[in-house]
Chains A and B, each alone.
Chain A
C-alpha cells in the first residue's frame, strides 16, 4: 500500500512536470499569435500597402534600409556611406565623388541615426538625414528618389555621434562630436587631453527649397564626449539638447575613468542666440578642410568640393549660448517630449531616468542660480531643473520615445526590455521583454510634435536563438509592439540589415505620393547622355575611349564595337532610354574591375573598362528586363596596342 502511495506521488509529480512544460510552450506560442490576433495585426495582404515607412539604419553596414510597418517587409537598401555593387554606388563614375572626403575616397562608414525633415514640428517626408560616425559626415536622402543626394563632411569632429537630428522647421540638421580632439588638429601628447581637446557641435543649415546643406556654424565646447541630441519644440524651439559623458575629460581606460563623476551634463544650446551672435559678428572664421558632395538628378552626376573655412562660436566666451544641466551616470539618450517641455536623460549606468523641465531651466537661468561653471559655461543646479525621476525603472536605460498621448517608452539594454511610463507622474505603466539587448526604440513620428503612437519598434543587438542559425554571425533584429492599448503587445520579430541602430518612421501616404517613377529623358543633362539610338557613337581621345551607349528592351546600341586596343581606358556611358516605370537595365563587361551598372529609366551611368588582353569580349544586361533579356548582349573586339584597326560600332549590321 505504501509503495502504491509512493508510486502515485511520483507519478503525479511527473505528470505535473510534463503538463507544466507543455503549458509553457503552448503559452509562449499562444501569446505570440493565436490568443491575441498578433498575426492579423501585422498581416498586409498581397498587393496591399503597409501603413508606415520605417527607415532603419544599418549601423556598420553604412546603409539605410527601408521597411514597411506593420509587416516588417524590406523594400530597399539605400546605399549611403558604403560602396554597393548592386546599385553601383561608389563604383560608377557618377557616384564616386559622393564618397570623397578630406581624407580622400572613404568607401565605408558607420551609419547611426536617421531623422526625417519637418515643417512646423510635423514630419513633411521630404528628406531623411543620417550621420556617418567614423569619418564624420552627414548625408541627405531624397524621398522622391530614395537616393542619397548630398553628403557633407564635418571638420573639427571625430566620431560624429549626436547626429543627425533636425529642428522643427528643418532650419538645421545638428551634429555633435563624440570624441573631442585638438581644434585645430595638432601634434600634442595624448595625456594633455584635459583643457586642450575640444568638442564641436555643428549646425548645418538646410535650404527649404532643395534641402541643400551648408555648414553654417560650429560651437566650440569643452572636451567632453557628446553622445546624443534632440531639438526643442514648441516652447523650447530654438534650443538644442546634447547628452555628454566623460566630463572627467579622461583619455584612457574610459570604462573606468569616464564614469567617476556621479553626474555628467545635458548641454542646452540656445541656437537662436547663436544666430544673434553671428549677426553681431561674434563668430570667428577658422581654417578647416571638409568635403561637400552633391548629386544632381538632372546631370545624374555628383560633384565634390573641398571647403576651407568654418564659422566658429566659442561657448566659453559667449554668455547665454550654452547651459549645463547635471544628469546622473553618463547619460546616453537625450529625448524631448512632443510638447517640448521635458528633456529625458537616460543615464546608461543608472537604474533611473532623469527628466528635466524646460520651464524650470528657463527660470533657473533667469534667477542666475548657478552651481559653478565648466570652462565659463554655467552649470545649473540639479534640483532646480529637475522635473521628476522614473525610479528603478529598469537596468541600463538608453533611449526614450513618446506616443503623443502622454506616455513615454524607454529601452533598457541590461534588463533587455521596453518600459512604458507616464509623463508628469513618472509612474511605470507596463514593461515588455526584448529579445535581446535592445538599443534604440522608434515610434513613427517620435521626434516631432505629433507622434503616430500606434507602434514602437525595438532594435535588438543580439538574437541568439530567435531565428534559424546562420553560423557564428546571426541576424540582428527589430521587434514590433502594438502600443495602441494600455499594455504593449509584441506582434512581430523581423531580421534587419547590419546593425539596426536607430530608426525614423513616417505614415506612408505622406511620402509615397511624391515618389518618382522615372527620370525624364528630355531633362537628362549628363554630358555623355544620348537621347536616341541615332546618337550612338564611340569617340577616341588618345587611349581614352568614350562609348555613348543606350539600352532599350532588348538590346544595347551599339552592340558590336571594334577598334579597341589593349591599354585603352574605355568608358561606357550608358543611357537607359526606357520611359516606363520599373524598367531598369544593367550592364557589365567581362573582366571589368568594378561593379555592374543598374540604370533607371532616363538615367545615364558610366563604368570604366581597361582591356588587358586581345580577343573578343562580351557584355550583357544584368537586370532581368524583359522576355528577351537573355538576348541583350554585345561584343567588343580588342586588338593589340599598336593596331591600326579604326574604331567602328554597329547594331544589327552583318
Chain B
C-alpha cells in the first residue's frame, strides 16, 4: 500500500515536470512548423483556457466534464487541439467513449499518445469533427459528412439509429458552439 502511495507521488511529480517542460517550450517560442497542430507552442494560451461559468458549455467543456470520455480528452490534450474546439464553430464532434477506445487493438491508444505520433493522433481526432451543427434526426438527411481531416465519412440510417463512419450515435448533447454526438466506436480515416 505504502509503495503504491509513493508510486502515485512519483507519477504526479513526473507529470508535473512534464507540464513544466511544455511551458518551458512556450517561453522560448519554440514552434514546430511542420506539425499542423493547432496553436502549437501555446498550450496554456487561448480560448480553451478561459474560465467562464456563465456561457453555455462548449464542445470541449462537455467532453472534459464526461467521465466516459477521459481517453478522448487525454488524446485532445496530447494533440493540442483544445483551442480548435472552443471557437465560434459551429462544430459537430463525434465523441467515442472510453469503451470505444478500449475496442481498438491493444496498445493502439498508448502508441498514438506518444509525442512522436502527435500528427497522426491530430489527424484521427480531426476525423471526428465536422464544421456544422446537426441533431441526430437531421443527420439522416446526409449521405456523407466532410470532416475536418479533409476526408468524408458515410452517414447510414439503420432503423432509428444513425451511424457515422460506422460508429453508432448513442447520445447527443447540444453545446454552446455546436453539438457532441457520443459514439460507440472510433472512426478511423481511410489513409
Q: Which residues of A contact B (CB under 8 A)?
A: 2, 5-6, 9-10, 12-13, 16-17, 19-20, 23-24, 26-28, 30-31, 35-36, 255-256, 259, 262, 329, 349-352, 392-396, 413-417, 420, 427-433, 435-437, 461-462, 464-465, 487, 489
Within 8 A of A (CB), among B124-169: 126, 131-132, 134, 141-142, 146, 148-150, 152
* Residues 35-52 (chain B) with a chain A CB within 8 angstroms: 36, 38-40, 42, 44-47, 50
> Per-residue CB proximity of B43-70 to A under 8 Å, as 1/0?
0111100100000000000000000000
Please determine whether B36 and A24 come into contact, CB atoms closer than 8 angstroms. no
Instruction: Please tell me if B172 contacts chain A, counting CB pairs below 8 Å.
Output: no
Q: Are B13 and A433 in contact (CB under 8 A)?
A: no
Report whether B87 and A13 are in contact in the complex, using a CB–CB cutoff of 8 Å. no
**Contact of A431 with B27 in the complex, beta carbons under 8 Å:** no
Evaluate contact between B17 and A6: CB separation under 8 angstroms: no
Chain A residue at smallest Cβ distance from B130: A349
Q: Report the minimal beta-carbon distance from B56 to chain A, rounded to whole angstroms.
A: 14
Which of A19, A394, A437 is B38 in contact with, Cβ under 8 Å? A394
Question: Does B142 contact A31, Cβ atoms closer than 8 Å?
Answer: no
User: Are the C-beta atoms of B6 and A433 separated by less than 8 Å?
Assistant: no
> Can you name the residue of chain B whose Cβ is closest to the Cβ of A490?
B29
What are 25 A-B contacts with C-beta separation under 8 Å? A6-B6, A6-B9, A23-B24, A23-B27, A24-B23, A26-B27, A27-B26, A255-B132, A256-B141, A259-B146, A351-B150, A395-B126, A414-B84, A414-B89, A415-B39, A416-B47, A417-B39, A428-B33, A431-B31, A431-B33, A433-B39, A433-B46, A437-B87, A465-B50, A489-B29
B104 at interface, CB cutoff 8 A: no
State which of A10, A16, A23, A462 has its C-beta within 8 Å of the C-beta of B87.
Answer: A462
* B36 contact set on A, CB distance < 8 A: 351, 392-394, 428
Cβ-defined contact, B83 with A415, below 8 A: yes
On chain A, the residues within 8 Å of B134 by CB distance are 256
Q: Are B148 and A395 in contact (CB under 8 A)?
A: yes
| Shortest distance from the beta carbon of B13 to any chain A beta carbon, whole Å | 5
CB distance from B162 to the nearest CB of A (A): 15
Which residues of the other chain, B, contact A435 by a CB distance below 8 angstroms? Answer: 45-47
Bound: A91/B144 CA distance, A: 53
Number of interface residues of B (CB under 8 A): 47
Least distance between B69 CB and chain A CB atoms (Å)? 21
Asked, given contacts A19-B20, A20-B19, whether A329 binds B146 with beta carbons under 8 Å apart, the answer is: yes
CA distance in complex: A461, B87 (Å): 10
Further 12 A-B residue pairs, CB within 8 A, beyond A27-B24, A259-B146: A13-B16, A23-B20, A27-B27, A28-B26, A256-B141, A351-B36, A393-B36, A415-B87, A416-B84, A429-B33, A433-B45, A436-B46
Using CB atoms and an 8 Å cutoff, list the residues of chain B in contact with chain A: 2, 5-6, 9-10, 12-13, 16-17, 19-20, 23-24, 26-27, 29, 31, 33-34, 36, 38-40, 42, 44-47, 50, 83-84, 87-89, 91, 123, 126, 131-132, 134, 141-142, 146, 148-150, 152
User: How close is A565's CB to chain B, nearest CB, in angstroms?
Assistant: 58
Q: Which residue of B lies closest to A396 (CB)?
A: B131
Cβ contacts under 8 Å, B27 to chain A? 23, 26-27, 30-31, 35
Q: What A residues does B29 contact at CB under 8 A?
A: 31, 36, 487, 489
Q: Select which of A23, A329, A433 is within 8 A of B83 by beta carbon.
A: A433
Measured between beta carbons, the chain A residues less than 8 angstroms from B42 are 433
Contacts of A2 in B (CB 8 A): 2
Bound state CA distance, A19 and B10, in angstroms? Answer: 17
A-B pair number, CB within 8 angstroms: 133
- Structural contact, A462 and B123, CB atoms closer than 8 A: no
A621 to chain B, nearest CB (A): 46
Whether B2 lies near A414 (C-beta < 8 A) is no
**Bound: A28/B45 CA distance, A:** 8
CA distance A414 to B44 in the complex (A): 18
Question: Which residues in A have their C-beta under 8 angstroms from that of B91?
Answer: 414
Q: Are A20 and B16 in contact (CB under 8 A)?
A: yes
Contact at A351–B148, with CB atoms within 8 Å? yes
- Whether A16 pairs with B16 at a CB distance below 8 angstroms is yes
Query: How far apart are the CA atoms of A15 and B27 in the complex, in Å?
Result: 19
**B38 and A464 within 8 A (CB):** no
Shortest Cβ gap from B15 to chain A (Å): 9
Asked if A16 contacts B39 (CB within 8 A), the reply is no
A residues within 8 A CB of B20? 16, 19-20, 23
Q: How far is the CB of B175 from chain A (nearest CB, A)?
A: 15
**Least Cβ–Cβ distance between A74 and chain B, in angstroms:** 25
B13 touches A12 (CB 8 A): yes
When distances are taken between beta carbons in the complex, the residues of chain B under 8 Å from A28 are: 26, 44-45
Contacts A415-B39, A415-B83, A437-B87 known; A17 to B150 CB distance under 8 Å? no
Q: Decide: A415 near B84, CB < 8 A? Known: A19-B20, A428-B34, A430-B33.
A: yes
A28 CA / B28 CA spacing, docked (Å): 10
- Whether A6 lies near B149 (C-beta < 8 A) is no
**Which residues of B are found within 8 Å of A35, using beta-carbon distances?**
27
A105 to B9, CA, bound (A): 73
Within 8 Å CB of B12, what residues of A? 13
Residues of A contacting B33 in the complex (Cβ-Cβ under 8 angstroms): 420, 428-431
> Which residue of chain B has the shortest Cβ distance to A421 in the bound complex?
B33
How far is A256 from B131 in the complex, measured between Cα atoms in Å?
10
Assembled-state Cα–Cα distance A351/B151 (Å):
10
- Whole-angstrom CA separation of A465 from B23 in the bound complex: 21
Chain B residues in 8 Å Cβ range of A24? 23, 26, 44
> Residue on A with the closest CB to B84?
A415
Query: For the complex, what is the distance from the CA of A6 to the CA of B2, rounded to whole Å?
Result: 9
| Cross-chain contact B88 with A462 (CB below 8 angstroms) | yes
The complex places the Cα of A2 from the Cα of B3 at a distance, in Å, of: 10
Asked if A16 contacts B46 (CB within 8 A), the reply is: no
Are A413 and B9 within 8 A (Cβ)?
no
Known: A16-B13, A20-B16, A393-B36. A413 touches B87 (CB 8 A): yes
A428 to B84, CA, bound (A): 18
Q: Which residue of the partner chain A has the closest CB to B51?
A: A465
- Give the chain B neighbours of A414 by CB distance below 8 A: 84, 87, 89, 91, 131, 148
Pair A9/B6 contact, Cβ less than 8 Å = yes
Interface core residue of A10, A12, A392 (most chain B CB under 10 Å): A392
Instruction: Give the chain B neighbours of A329 by CB distance below 8 A.
Output: 146
